[in-house]
Structure 1
Amino acid sequence: MNGRYRLGIDIGGTFTDVTLLEQESGRLVSLKTPTVPSDPARGIVNALHRLKETGVTPEEIVYFVHGTTIGLNTLLQRKGARIALMVTEGFLDLLALQRLRLPVPYDFRSRLPEPLIPRQAVFPVRERLLHDGAEHWPVDTEMLDRTIGEIAEAGYEGVAVCLLHSYRNPVHERQVAERIRRLAPGMVVCLSSELWPQMREYERAVLAVVNLYIQPSARRYFRGLRERLAEEGLAVEPLITQSNGGVMDIGTAAEAPVRTLFSGPAAGVIGAVRLAEAAGIRNVITFDVGGTSADISVVTDGRPAFVETNQVAGFPILMPSISIQSVGAGGGSVVWLDSGGLLKVGPESAGSSPGPACYGNGGPAALTDAFLLCGWLNPGRFAAGSVALYPELSARALRPVAEALGLDLASAADRVIQVAVANMYAELNGVLEQQGIDPREYVVLAYGGAGPLLANFIAEEIRAGGVLVPPRPGTMCALGALNADFVHDAVRSGRMPLAEIKPAELKKRYEALAAEARGWLENQRFDGIEGHRFEYSMDARYVGQSFEIALPIDPAELEGEDCARIAGRFHEAHRLQYGHSDPGAPVEAVNLRVRAVGLTRKPPLERVPDAAGPARPAGEREIYLRGERRRVPVHVRAELAAGHEIEGPAVIEQDDTTVLILGGWRGRVDAFGNILLRRTGEVR
C-alpha cells in the first residue's frame, strides 16, 4: 500500500483520540482533541487540522479506521427511526412479552424496557414454518399486500421482519421482502434471517429492530463523514471498527450498524492484547478509564473473552462481541450527594461540554476535579496542553460537597477518589468471580486518560499480579483500531445430537459457513488484506438445557467416525464451568459458528533506548494521597528509558495521561517503553 500514513481515530464521550503511523519509519504520533457531541465528525476534522500543523496532509493518509458510538448513542437516547415490525400471525406481543423475567430478580419493582416499536406498529404475516424449516402454511400474499399498504400509508421509515423459524429457512422472509420492495419502493427492509440467523425468536427480532432503528442515524453520519473527509482532502475509504474487535468497510457498517455498538472499547482490547504480548504477559485485565466510564475486559492466554449476547439499555444484542463490562465512573463522572447525604460519583458524566468544573465552562464537580485538587494532575500539561485546567474552579465546585461532609477540600477530593475506586472494584470483582479468575495470575493493563491514575489502586484491591502501563495509554483505542483485522462471524442454528450426527456432516456445514464468511471478506472494499484464517466453534448443551457452552472446534475433530471426542470436551468444559458434569447424558450442538479473520498489516512496536543511568525526576510536587500530604518525585515519561526503575509513591507525566505509582510498588520500563508495576513489599 503506497502512501505515508495510516490513521486510527476513536471518538469517546469526552475526547477524540488519534494515532497516526508513519509507514516508512514506524513512528507513531498520538493526540487528543475534545469531542463535539453535537457533531462528532467535527472532532475528527479538528484532529486533521492539528495534524496539518505538524506537516501531515490528508492527501498522504492511505488508511483510515474509525471507532464510532453513533449507533450506541442513538439507542441509549431512543432517538432512532420510526419503524414497523412484521411477525408471524399470533405473535404480535413478541416485543412486549420479551422473556418474562424481571431485570433484577430480587427487585419486584424492576421493569422490562419499553419496546422500541409500540404494539400498534407490529403487523402479522399469515404463514408458518415448522421447527425444521419445512413449510406448514405458505405466505398469504393477499393479506400481506394489504398489510404493506397499511405500513406505507402510515409513513413508517422501514420494516423489520422476523418470522418464526426463519433461521432454519429464510424463504418466507425473502418473499415478504420481495413484495415490500415491489409495492413500497424505497421502504428500507431488514430481515432477521439475513442479519443473524440464530435460534431464539425474541432476541433475533430485537437485533433486527435495533439494526433498523439506528440505521438512518448511522447512514447520515457515515455520509456526512465521507463528505467532510473529502472536503479536507482525504480520499481514502473509511473503515469502521466492530464490536467483535474487527473492522469492516463503511458500506457494510451502514447496512449493519448494530455490529458497531461496542466498537470503541473493543478496539482498545485488541490494542492491549498486542502490547501485552510484546511485554511477555498473556493474562491481563484491561482497565480503560476515559471521561465517561471505566471499561473492563479479561484476556486469558492472549485471547480476549467473547460473549454471544450483550445487553444495551435492557435489550439483548444476540451477536458476538468482546466481553466488556462498563462502570459509570470516568474522569467526567459527576460528584453529588444523595438524599441521605451519602457521597456518590457518577454515573452521570459532564462529558466534554461543559466538562468538569476545572475546564472553565461552568461544569459540575467531577472526578477530574478531585484529581486536580489532590495535586495528581499538572494543569499546564493536561491533554498535551490543549485543554487548560483551573484548580480554583474545581475548589469552588467541590466546596459545597466538602462542607456537607464536614471535610476540608483535599480530604473531600480524596474521598471522591475512594468512592470511584470502590465502584470500579465492586464491578470488577463481580466479573472475576463470575469467570472464576484468580487475579493474582493477571496483570491490570491500564489505559484511557484516567486509567493509569487509578490502576494501582485497583490492583491493590483485587491483589493483581501487577500493573502494565503502555507508552500511549490515552489513545489506546485509536491504536487498537490500527491493529485490528477484518473479522466476520457467521452462524447457523439447529438441534444436532452429537451421538447421531456424523463428523462429515458437521464438516460440510462448517465449510458452507466458511464459504459465506470468505465471500464477506472478498466483498470488503479494501485491497490490503494479507491472507486469512478461519476459526470454528459450536454452542453445545445437554439435551433439555436452556443455555449453552461455547466450544472451539479443531478441524481435525471433523475427520473421525463419530463426535465422541467433541462430546468428551463438552463434559469437561461443563465440569470446569459449573462444578459437575454428566458423561452419560446426551449432548447436542445448537449453533455452529465460523469466524473469518482477514489479516492486516500491524504497526511496528517502537523500542526505547537502554538507560545510561538511574531515572532522574524532573522535579517534585506535593500531593494528597490516602489522607496524607507528601512530596513525591515527578518524572517525564518521554525521558524514561529501558531499565529505568521508579519507586513509589511517584508521579509520571506525559501528554495523554498521568501515571500514579503508590508506595510499596516499583515501576520498571521495558524495551518497548511499557511501565510494569510490581510490589516491593508490604503496601503502605
Structure 2
Amino acid sequence: SLAVLLLHSYTYQKHERRVGEIATELGFTHVSLSSAVSPMVKAVPRGYTACTDAYLTPIIQKYLQGFKSGFENELEGVRVSFMQSDGGLALMQEFIGSRAILSGPAGGVVGYAATTYHQQPLVELFDFVDCNPSHITPDRKETCLSNSAQTNMDKDVTTSNTHQNTTENDLSSKTNSRQDVTKKIKSPRKLLPVIGFDMGGTSTDVSRYAGTYEHVFESTTAGITVQAPQLDINTVAAGGGSRLFFHSGMFVVGPESAGANPGPACYKKGGPLAVTDANLMLGRLLPEHFPKIFGPTEDQPLDVAATRTAFADITDKVNSFELSRGSGKKLSEEEVALGFIRVANETMCRPIRALTQAKGHDTSKHILSVFGGAGGQHACAIARSLGMSRVFVHRYAGILSAYGLALADTVQEAQEPCAKTYCSENYAYFSERLQHLESECRTKLLNEGFPTSSIKCEIYLHLRYQGTDCALMCQPYVTDEGAGDSNDDHASSEQPKVRRSSRRTPKKRQTKKATKRGKKQKDCIEEE
C-alpha cells in the first residue's frame, strides 16, 4: 500500500494522479492519493490522512472480501452499507479507512439521538399515566428513570415500569384519558440536550446531541491528525476491563486493559484486577444473572472468590503504604474497590465536561443517555458528579451501536478549499461552487437509487478570522425554499450560526472549507 502527497495537489491533482498510476504499474495493490482522500490546504494533516487511509483501507478491504465470501454469490446485486465516522452510511465499495476510525461509536450516537432525544415527550407521559395503556405501543416505551428516582439519585434506580403499580385512584387524579395524552404529546416542553455515555470493556465514548449532530473535520489521535468529517466523540481509556493499579499512594485506573482474554480476575482465567471486579466486589454485579461462560472451559459462573483474593492483595499494599506514612487508618477491600470506582468515574466525567462546560453549556441541563455493556453500573454516580438530574438507561443498551445502523442516513459529502473573503462581492462565486458540490452529492445519491424527494442537502462553511488559524464551522441562514435569490441567502448569513463566538456580527474572513452533505432518510424503518 502506498500514500501519495504532493504539496499543491489540493488545487492541481493531475501530477498526483499520474504518480498513482505509476505506482499501480509498479505493483502497488492500493494507492491513497491525498487529493482524493482530503483535498484541503494543509499539507501535513493531508499527508497524515493519506497515510492513515493507506494503512487501514487494505485491512478493511480484506475483511470485506471475507465478509462477502460467506454469502451466496458473494452478495452480488445486494445493497450493503457500512457506518462511517460521520454517522452516515456508505456503500461497501466506497467504504475507506480514513472514514471508518469512529464508525462503531458513531452508530451509538445515531441510536440514542433517534430515541432518547426525540422521544422525550413520550417519556414525559410515563410520569403521570399508566406505562401500558392500549394507545401507547410497546416499542415506544424507552426505559428511563422516573421522577421519583430523579429527585434523589442516592435512591435505588427505578425504571418507569414501576408506575404500573400505581393505584387507579392515583391515575385518575392525574389523567387517564386519551385526549389528555394526545394533547400532552402535541404540546411537549422544550427538549433537553442529551449526553451520550457509551461505556464498554476498554473505553468510554461520550458525545452530545441537541437536535443536530456535532461534527469535527479535523481530529488528532495518538499524534496523528486526520482531516475527515466525523462526529464529535470524546474517548477515554476507562471501561469495564480497565486494569486497577496502586502506585506511590495513588489509585490508578487504566489505560491498560485486561481485554476479553484473559479478562478481569472474575473471568477465572488468571486475569488482572479490573473495574468489573470492583463492581462485582461492591455487589453491583450479580453472578446468578450472568451466563456460565467463564473459566478455562467456558462453562463456569463469575468467580467472586478470585475477585476477593485479588482485592485482598491490593488492599494489603494500600494499608502497608498508609502504615509506612504513619497513618493509622486501615481500609477494607470494599473501601479500596469504591476508591477505584470513584477514580474511574472522575476519569469519565472529564470528557463530558469538555463537551459541555468547555463550550459554554450547562452540564446540569442535560440528560445522560447510558448504553454500552458497563454504562448502567456507573450512570447514577456520573450524573451525580455532574449535577445531572435525569438518566435514561436504554433498553437496547448492549446493542445500541448496532441498532443505530438501522436508523442512520446514507450520506455523500463533497468539499473543496477556498481562499476568498466571505463578503457580498463573493456571494455569486460561493453560490456557484456550493451548487457544484450539491450537484455532485445529489448525483451520487440518485445513482444509488434514492428518489429526489428523500434527499436533503446541508451546507457547512469553515470560516476563520483574518490572522488566525482556527476555523469555525457555520451553517448560513437560508431563506424559505424558492424565495429570493442566492445572494439573499448568503446575505442572511451575515449573522452565522457560530455559538462559540461572543460577537453578535463577527467580521468573517477567509473561507477555509466548504462542505456539502446529501442525506437520505432511511425508509426501511419508520419512526412515528
1:489 shift after superposition: 2.1
Q: Residues of 2 paired with 1:354 and 1:529: CA distance?
A: 52
Residue 161 of structure 1 aligns with which residue? 4
Residue 349 of structure 2 aligns with which residue? 425
Residue 94 of structure 2 aligns with which residue? 252
Deviates further, 372-381 or 499-508: 499-508
Q: Residues of 1 paired with 2:391 and 2:244: CA distance?
A: 27
1:402 paired to 2:325: no
1:119-518 mapped onto 2 (5 Å cutoff): 158-181=1-24, 183-230=25-72, 238-253=80-95, 256-276=96-116, 277-280=118-121, 281-300=191-210, 302-338=211-247, 340-382=248-290, 388-406=301-319, 407-499=331-423, 501-518=425-442
Contact 1:503 1:562 in 2 (8 A): no
Q: Residues of 2 paired with 1:352 and 1:529: CA distance?
A: 46
* Secondary structure of the corresponding residue to residue 296 of structure 1: strand
Contact 1:336 1:344 in 2 (8 A): yes
Greater strand proportion: 1
1:195 shift after superposition: 1.4
Change (3 A) 1:528 1:563: closer
Contact 1:296 1:428 in 2 (8 A): yes
Q: Residues of 2 paired with 1:445 and 1:160: CA distance?
A: 40
- Structure 1's consecutive aligned runs of 4 or more residues displaced over 6 angstroms after TM superposition are 231-235, 526-530
Residue 474 of structure 2 aligns with which residue? 551
Q: Residues of 2 paired with 1:385 and 1:236: CA distance?
A: 38
* Secondary structure of the corresponding residue to residue 497 of structure 1: coil
**Identical-pair percentage:** 29
Contact 1:504 1:558 in 2 (8 A): no
What whole-Å deviation, never above 9, does each CA across 1:519-575 have from its counterpart, x for those lacking one? 333455x879982211011011222221111111345486236944323337xx3xx
Contact 2:454 2:520 in 1 (8 A): yes
1:458 shift after superposition: 1.1
Contact 1:229 1:235 in 2 (8 A): no
Q: Which runs of 5+ in 2 are unaligned?
A: 122-190, 295-300, 320-330
1:465 shift after superposition: 3.7
Residue 123 of structure 1 aligns with which residue? none
Residue 160 of structure 2 aligns with which residue? none
Contact 1:502 1:561 in 2 (8 A): no
Q: Residues of 2 paired with 1:187 and 1:228: CA distance?
A: 23
Q: Residues of 1 paired with 2:456 and 2:366: CA distance?
A: 28
Q: Residues of 1 paired with 2:474 and 2:87: CA distance?
A: 20
The amino acid that maps onto 2:277 is D
1:396 shift after superposition: 1.8
Q: Residues of 1 paired with 2:215 and 2:208: CA distance?
A: 9
1:580 shift after superposition: 4.4
* Secondary structure of the corresponding residue to residue 417 of structure 2: strand
Contact 2:246 2:318 in 1 (8 A): no
What whole-Å deviation, never above 9, does each CA across 1:213-238 have from its counterpart, x for those lacking one? 12222121111222235599999554
1:596 paired to 2:437: no
Contact 1:540 1:551 in 2 (8 A): yes
Q: What number of residue pairs does the alignment pair up?
A: 437
Change (3 A) 1:466 1:596: same
* Secondary structure of the corresponding residue to residue 595 of structure 1: strand
The amino acid that maps onto 1:275 is T
Contact 2:417 2:514 in 1 (8 A): yes
What whole-Å deviation, never above 9, does each CA across 1:34-73 have from its counterpart, x for those lacking one? xxxxxxxxxxxxxxxxxxxxxxxxxxxxxxxxxxxxxxxx
What whole-Å deviation, never above 9, does each CA across 1:197-248 have from its counterpart, x for those lacking one? 1121111111111101122221211112222355999995542111000111
* Secondary structure of the corresponding residue to residue 199 of structure 1: coil
Calculate the TM-score normalised by the size of structure 1.
0.60
The amino acid that maps onto 1:547 is C
Change (3 A) 1:294 1:528: farther
Q: Residues of 2 paired with 1:562 and 1:514: CA distance?
A: 15
1:361 shift after superposition: 1.6
Contact 1:506 1:558 in 2 (8 A): no
Q: Residues of 1 paired with 2:525 and 2:312: CA distance?
A: 47
Q: Residues of 1 paired with 2:504 and 2:16: CA distance?
A: 40
The amino acid that maps onto 2:112 is A
Residue 665 of structure 1 aligns with which residue? none
Q: Residues of 2 paired with 1:227 and 1:319: CA distance?
A: 30
What whole-Å deviation, never above 9, does each CA across 1:146-166 have from its counterpart, x for those lacking one? xxxxxxxxxxxx332222222
Contact 1:491 1:593 in 2 (8 A): yes
Contact 1:161 1:190 in 2 (8 A): yes
The amino acid that maps onto 2:394 is P
Contact 2:192 2:365 in 1 (8 A): no
Q: Please point out which of 554, 558, 577 is paired with 2:500.
A: 577
Q: Residues of 1 paired with 2:71 and 2:452: CA distance?
A: 23
1:417 shift after superposition: 1.0
1:192 shift after superposition: 1.2
Contact 2:477 2:489 in 1 (8 A): no
Q: Which runs of 5+ in 1 are unaligned?
A: 1-157, 607-684
The amino acid that maps onto 1:453 is Q
* Secondary structure of the corresponding residue to residue 4 of structure 2: strand
Contact 1:459 1:467 in 2 (8 A): yes
Q: Residues of 2 paired with 1:310 and 1:270: CA distance?
A: 20
Q: Cα RMSD over matched residues? A: 2.7
Change (3 A) 1:564 1:533: closer
1:174 shift after superposition: 2.1
1:490 shift after superposition: 1.3
Q: Please point out which of 480, 483, 492 is paired with 1:565.
A: 492
Change (3 A) 1:171 1:563: same
Change (3 A) 1:168 1:555: farther
The amino acid that maps onto 2:455 is H
1:357 shift after superposition: 1.0
Contact 1:439 1:465 in 2 (8 A): no
Q: Residues of 1 paired with 2:29 and 2:425: CA distance?
A: 42
Q: Residues of 2 paired with 1:248 and 1:559: CA distance?
A: 30
The amino acid that maps onto 1:403 is D
Contact 1:530 1:599 in 2 (8 A): no
1:504 shift after superposition: 2.9
The amino acid that maps onto 1:295 is D
Greater helix proportion: 2
Residue 626 of structure 1 aligns with which residue? none
Q: Residues of 2 paired with 1:568 and 1:303: CA distance?
A: 19
* Secondary structure of the corresponding residue to residue 464 of structure 2: strand
Change (3 A) 1:187 1:231: closer
Q: Residues of 2 paired with 1:227 and 1:213: CA distance?
A: 23
Contact 1:354 1:361 in 2 (8 A): yes
Change (3 A) 1:582 1:527: closer
Deviates further, 358-367 or 548-557: 548-557
Calculate the TM-score normalised by the size of structure 2.
0.77
1:424 shift after superposition: 1.2
Contact 2:476 2:492 in 1 (8 A): no
Q: Residues of 1 paired with 2:517 and 2:245: CA distance?
A: 45
